[in-house]
A = this chain, B = another copy of it.
């Protein structure tokens, strides 16, 4: 489906390697800013800068806007003040604030002189909203009209602002203090009688978010109610921006990536996994791994308690990785089902009793199936007594693992913590600590202590 798109991209990359300016210019004109941005993201920074220099101001701004923040920062570092100032000037206000956030504090003052006094004020206001909030995600380029306007007047405003507005399909009506009092879609506007007052056509019960709202909640609301744009207001109700559906899609994709990484106890990466530096990856991965080393030392201490049993029945050790993996895998499955269900709103805390009953049934069925698989081979390899211990342990550890995986996210949420902390590594390690002790205790009880 993208096969017909891949070709001009590849040709551009070849032309860049060959430093063939004419070929670069020819390819560049055929590519969408999104595709150009992908190349700027993947190439070395100097190559990306060179590519940007082949674009006109508008295309350069559009391409730069599509770059991930950490790549914007890297390229900004390499630009002269004049290059950066020109770029800043040609960006839309929202993208301008995003770039300004990435520039070192020391360079900011110098850059401001490329902007008009009004642009400077707007930029400083927008850049002050912290990353990850509705304020940082929004664009100030919406179409607002006084609630006293007529339909015809609104249509004229739309025609005038069509170029710079992010969307003209949703119009916002304000009272004299700038408070949002209602909205109307262009769809309804073109059906309305031109001379009629706007007020009669307004939808007054409007969903809004405050500037400080976290961006994932904003994206969820847009997706849930199929909104084209969601208005963002200050605490006093003044409309200051809108978040559009396409930004919500980008946020949703980033959040899904973050959730998947969190499910493996990987911290939030600043940029793309492709360009992350080794030390950043190390730092984001090492935390829970080390914590779980210490947790696992408890499991080791538990085993030491059963030294005599192990010495008498060495074959028990052969089945240890099997049991450890099985309980961990079943537990990680249960945790993932819960954490994702809670993230999408399908599963709520009040469901816990019903879900617990179901998980017990499923886990027992899983454990029994796996126990049956091991019973035959186990008997052949280690005799019926040990095979029985392993099979019964299998049922118990799978049940344990599943219950830990299911209940831990609920418990964490209950405590006001993020349920996603119940990652596969954490659940696996907890399930293993319980499972290992259970296995050897059962063996000691069933096989008897050695004489």
Query: Are B297's CB and A307's CB within 8 A?
Result: no
A2 vs B220: C-alpha distance when bound (angstroms): 10
* Nearest CB of chain B from residue A108's CB, rounded to whole Å: 29
Q: Is A366 an interface position by the 8 A CB rule?
A: yes
Cα(A222)–Cα(B256), bound, Å? 17
- Interface check A14, CB cutoff 8 A: no
A274:B373 contact, CB within 8 angstroms: no
**Residue A92 at the B interface, CB < 8 A?**
no
Task: Give which listed residue, B168, B301, B322, contacts A300 with CB less than 8 A.
Answer: B322
Which residues of the other chain, B, contact A250 by a CB distance below 8 angstroms?
Answer: 223
Q: How far is the CA of A260 from the CA of B272 in the complex (A)?
A: 19
Q: Give the total of A residues in contact with B, Cβ under 8 Å.
A: 109
Cα(A381)–Cα(B162), bound, Å: 74
One of A17-25, A75-83, A122-130, A288-296 contacting the partner: A288-296
Q: Could you tell me the distance between the alpha carbons of A448 and B264 in the complex, rounded to whole angstroms?
A: 37
> Are A257 and B340 CB-contacts (below 8 A) given A169-B169, A225-B32, A278-B365?
yes
Residues 399-439 of chain A, each 1 if its beta carbon lies under 8 Å from chain B, else 0:
00000000000000000000000001100110011001000
Q: Is the CB of A281 within 8 A of B362?
A: yes
A202-259: which residues lie under 8 A (CB-CB) from chain B? 209, 213, 217, 221-226, 245-246, 248-250, 252-253, 256-257, 259
Distance in angstroms from A214 CB to nearest chain B CB is 9
Measured between beta carbons, the chain B residues less than 8 angstroms from A187 are 162, 168-169
Residues A274 and B221 in contact, CB atoms below 8 Å apart: no
Given contacts A325-B324, A325-B328, A369-B290, contact A300 B273 (CB under 8 A): no
A347 within 8 A of B: yes
Residue of B with least CB distance to A223: B249
In the assembled complex, the CB of A122 is this many whole angstroms from the nearest CB of chain B, namely 23
Specify the chain B residue showing the minimal Cβ separation from A224. B34
Asked whether any CB of chain B lies closer than 8 Å to the CB of A139, the reply is: no
Q: Determine how close the nearest CB of chain B comes to the CB of A269; give it in whole angstroms.
A: 9
The 6 A-B pairs with the shortest beta carbon distances in the complex, nearest first, are A226-B246, A256-B256, A296-B322, A300-B318, A329-B425, A273-B341
Query: In the complex, given contacts A186-B190, A321-B433, A332-B425, what are 15 additional A-B residue pairs having Cβ atoms less than 8 angstroms apart?
Result: A1-B209, A1-B221, A155-B190, A169-B187, A245-B245, A252-B256, A266-B336, A273-B338, A274-B346, A292-B329, A297-B377, A299-B321, A299-B322, A303-B318, A321-B324
Interface pairs (9), CB distance under 8 Å: A1-B213, A2-B217, A34-B226, A223-B250, A245-B249, A261-B340, A299-B322, A300-B319, A328-B328
Q: Which residues of A contact B (CB under 8 A)?
A: 1-2, 32, 34, 38, 155, 158-159, 162, 168-169, 186-187, 190-191, 209, 213, 217, 221-226, 245-246, 248-250, 252-253, 256-257, 259-261, 263-266, 272-274, 278, 281-282, 285-286, 288-290, 292-294, 296-297, 299-301, 303-304, 307, 310-311, 314-315, 317-322, 324-326, 328-330, 332-333, 336-338, 340-341, 344-347, 351, 355, 358, 361-362, 365-366, 369-370, 373-374, 377, 381, 424-425, 428-429, 432-433, 436
